[in-house]
Chains A and B, each alone.
Chain A
Amino acid sequence: MTTKSLIAQNHKLSSAKSQVNFLQDSNITKFSDKLCDQNLYPLTPQALEIFQINVGKMCNQVCKHCHVDAGPDRKEIMTRDTMLLCLEAIKKSGATTVDLTGGAPEMNPEFRWFVEELSTLGKKIIVRCNLTIIVANKKYNDLPEFFKKHKVEVVSSLPYFTASKTDSQRGDGVFEKSIKALKMLNEVGYGIEGSGLILNLVYNPSGAFLPPDQNALQKEFKDKLETLYSIKFNALFAITNLPVSRFLEYLVRSENYETYMEKLVNAYNPTAAENVMCRNTLSISWDGFIYDCDFNQMLEMKIGVETNNQHLSDFNAERINKRNIIVNQHCYGCTAGAGSSCSGNVA
């Protein structure tokens, strides 16, 4: 398994522009036309609920499907100054939830300071923790206690309840470390009924296929993780892989791209389209630019220029809430089947 990001490999699909060109260069029905068919184009926001912040692309893992192209060789990290801009924007935005992602967000040296500041705002805080970071180094071993102190909701990827499927997607040894970290989270109360500490897991298919029914899979994960490892968690989010960055590169390399896109298009669900996450979410990059979602962020498709505030330094909630959401062919990933968002199904 490669341990380098696409950008470090100087791969042709490492640039956002080349990915967008690739996605547009096909006979697949335009996503915007699909929205037009149900009078949903241009797609517009509803009330803003979630302020998702990507605090950096640095990560201790190099997952094969990562849409961020994150890894140890990525040095893009949000500074405290940009975090201060985030705090100001959150206050103005009306958002009720702050969702921290990366990379491994905990590797940002300002991470703990930022969570402490966020917790004083009284917002719900979500951290997308890759689990292995908790056991990667002694300095991270107290993360479960830190999360507990600030009542952070932990959302963690675990592609399957076996080592082979997990490690094939996330790297050798990741499953064993993830199980160890899940036990540490359970020990402080995460995922335990009545504790008020929420531990949700994320399932991504480890290949070119769509995720299973979320409820059926949650039941199976709960049974297996409890029986095999005595691990408890709250909910499972089944998330579709979008054709962006490393997953796009995988689709092309394995010659699955055309059939996967066909599958996404054929599974287009109008109800999922009405409920896509970009309608209640804003996504902020490590350098403070504003996007409709984390996928648009990775494709460097900033929010519409008509808002005149593509950067946090010009944040204007009113104008942003009147914007048109930028869509492209990758958006089919969020509207297939039961729909997909950072919180799982949407239909």
Chain B
Amino acid sequence: MKTYYNPDDLKKFGSISEFEPNLAKKFFDYYGDVFKEGALTAREKSLIALAVAHAVQCPYCIDAYTQDTMEKGCDEKQIMEAVHVASAIKGGAVLVHGVQMMNKYKELSM
């Protein structure tokens, strides 16, 4: 069955360099540097990546960073809390616009 997303395509991520090698190299070098141990630990960065993966709803990233957080020693509670952080920010971003809606409602009401 054909689908828009194919799990095997995740392994082929590097092949985007085929059409534009220079920019791809810059991206992958940058990507590698971002996830190195720094002021944040590699584990903290992996949890952030997992949360963002959910926020941007990228199935490739969810697969990759679920495994990566497990390989950084995170358990199921920790990774689910990270997903809730993404959910809270996304939900909050919806709800905070409720103020704008209320402002407009009041503006148009007698």
Contacts and interface: CB of A to CB of B under 8 A. Distances in A.
A205 B75 contact: no
Nearest to B7: A259
B90 interface: no
A205 B71 CA distance: 8
A213 B42 contact: yes
A211 B70 CA distance: 8
B25 interface: no
B54 interface: no
Interface string A199-234: 000000101011111001100100000000000000
B76 A164 contact: yes
Contact of A216 (B43, B75, B76): B43
A315 interface: no
Nearest to A337: B71
Q: Binding site of A, secondary structure by majority: helix, strand, loop or mixed?
A: loop
B17 interface: no
A219 to B, nearest CB: 10
Contacts of B43: 212, 216
Contacts of A165: 75-76
Contacts of A328: none
Given A164-B75, A165-B75, A205 B70 contact: yes
Contact of B70 (A164, A207, A216, A220): A207
A216 B71 contact: no
Given A160-B75, A162-B75, A216 B41 contact: yes
Nearest to B68: A209
Q: Binding site of B, secondary structure by majority: helix, strand, loop or mixed?
A: helix
B103 interface: no
B44 to A, nearest CB: 11
Interface in B52-81: 67, 70-73, 75-77
Report the contact-size class of chain B (Cβ under 8 Å from the partner): 10 to 19
Report the contact-size class of chain A (Cβ under 8 Å from the partner): 10 to 19
A205 B75 CA distance: 11
B5 to A, nearest CB: 17
Contact of B73 (A164, A207, A212): A212
B67 A209 contact: yes
B67 A216 contact: no
A212 B76 contact: no
Contacts of B77: 162
Nearest to A262: B11
A164 B80 CA distance: 15
Contacts of A209: 67, 70-71
A216 B72 CA distance: 8
A66 to B, nearest CB: 20
Given A162-B77, A205-B70, A210-B71, 11 more contacts: A164-B75, A164-B76, A165-B76, A205-B71, A207-B70, A209-B67, A209-B70, A213-B42, A213-B72, A216-B42, A216-B73
Interface of B: 41-43, 67, 70-73, 75-77
Interface of A: 160, 162, 164-165, 205, 207, 209-213, 216-217, 220
7 contacts: A160-B75, A165-B76, A205-B70, A213-B42, A213-B73, A216-B41, A216-B42
Rank and list the top 4 A-B pairs by shortest CB-CB distance, nearest first: A212-B73, A209-B70, A217-B73, A212-B72
